[in-house]
Amino acid sequence: MKKVTALLLALLMMLSLAACGGNTTNNTGNNTSNNSGNTSGDEGGDTAEPITLRLAYMSNWGALWAVATADAKGYFADEGITVEMTPFEDGPTEIAAMESGSIDISYIGPGAHKLCSTGNAEVVLLQHLGDGDCIIGLKGIKTLEELKGKTIGYSAGTSSETILTVALESVGLTMNDVNAMSMDSTALTTAALSNTVDAVAAWAPLSLTILSEAEDATDICSNVDFASLVSPGSWVVNPKWAADNQDAMVRFVRAMYKGMDYAAAATTDDAIAEEVAGYIAGVMSTDAETVIGERYTGTWMTSGEVIDMLNSGEVLRIYGDQQATFIANGTLEAEGNLTPEEFVLTDVMLEASK
């Protein structure tokens, strides 16, 4: 009888231990199921305090390829993050929205990075290097030299202005040698399609629309044609917000790393490209065919590539070279700027990889 009682007690203890450990096993599974590369979900998921992050984006592949994937695949949910995404026309407007407190984190293209040098924003994630900006000749114009004295549409303070100034300089011209007209993205496309300008400096997807629909349009040059034209796509934060939200930034970047690791293959894997295009189209309320053509407009990085570039110093060199280009073409003052070491949050990017 004593043996039977002992066996029953042992069995009850085993059942009790199993019941206590059941939830732990399930939680561990949930936290690791979506991990990729060298990222970790240990700080996120079920154990993290739920937060909502208000994100600003531009309606193109470059802005959305990783963030739309991270949201759709549940990587933000793994970190206890709910994202609210709002479209903007350009980076300077996004940075102004962060300063007003209506946006937490913004995606910006190359041109708006000069506001990091002036202390208006800090880089929390280098996401990719883009090739989505170009100069498009209209009315039969096919070379940069032909732009002298011509009317050129561009968008001041954006990557459009950056590539225009660099391209003109490459053939001995300046903005004073052309009739440069600044306009927003909608007006830029309208001006090109109505032939009211002789050329435009545009970015994807505007450039793709113009090249496919404008009569006698020629893609004269793009980012890769200029060794000095560094073109990072970054997620940035307001410095004051960053000072109080270290944990939120690490969790955001950790989720983004997973999205990048998955979606970076879109240029070589058609199935993934179609999947990612579907996620992007869902955010933009359009169809996948409209955006999938943009998958070749950049070098889409994985988390491992970003970490390697951080460790080698390449990330800071990229932003330093870009700052030097801004100064050289006159879009940024030569004195009084922050250094990349001051405005690039390398600690956040490294911490998110652990």
- Whether the upstream peptide bond of residue 205 has omega within 30° of 0, thus cis, is yes
- Say if residues 159 and 246 touch (Cβ distance below 8 Å): no
Distances, alpha carbon 99 to alpha carbons 94, 105, 224, 240, in Å: 9, 11, 32, 9
pLDDT tens track for 280-316: 999 999 999 989 989 988 899 999 999 999 999 999 9
Calculate the CA 101 to chain-centre distance: 20
Query: Comparing C-alpha atoms, which of 256, 250, 252, 257 is closest to residue 351?
Result: 250
Annotation: CATH topology of 133-225: D-Maltodextrin-Binding Protein; domain 2 (3.40.190)
Span(s) in the chain for CATH 3.40.190.10: 45-130+231-351, 133-225
Predicted local distance difference test score (pLDDT) of residue 243? 98
Whole-number pLDDT of residue 225: 85
pLDDT of residue 123: 98
Residue 300, SS3 per DSSP = strand
Spell out the per-residue pLDDT of the chain, length 354, in tens. Answer: 333 333 333 433 333 333 333 333 233 233 323 333 333 444 444 578 999 999 999 999 999 999 999 999 999 999 999 999 999 999 999 999 999 999 999 999 988 999 999 999 999 999 999 887 899 999 999 999 999 999 999 999 888 898 999 899 999 999 999 999 999 988 999 999 999 999 999 988 888 889 989 989 999 998 878 866 778 999 999 999 999 999 999 999 999 999 999 999 999 999 999 999 999 999 999 999 989 989 988 899 999 999 999 999 999 999 999 999 899 888 899 999 999 999 999 999 999 999
Answer yes or no: are the C-beta atoms of 72 and 255 closer than 8 Å: no
Q: For the sheet containing 51-57, what is the strand order? A: 81-87, 51-57, 105-108, 232-237, 122-130, 298-300
pTM summary value: 0.74
Q: In CATH, which superfamily holds the domain spanning 45-130+231-351?
A: Periplasmic binding protein-like II (3.40.190.10)
Residue 157 one-letter amino acid: G
Q: Which amino acid is at 287?
A: D
Return the pLDDT at 227. Answer: 66
The phi, psi pair for 237, rounded to 5°, reads: -135, 160
pLDDT of residue 39: 39
| Nearest 10 degrees: Cα torsion 155, 159, 162, 164 | -60
Q: What is the pLDDT of residues 231-248, one digit of tens each?
A: 899 999 999 999 999 999
So what's the pLDDT on residue 32?
29
Token pair, residue 120, equals 């208006």
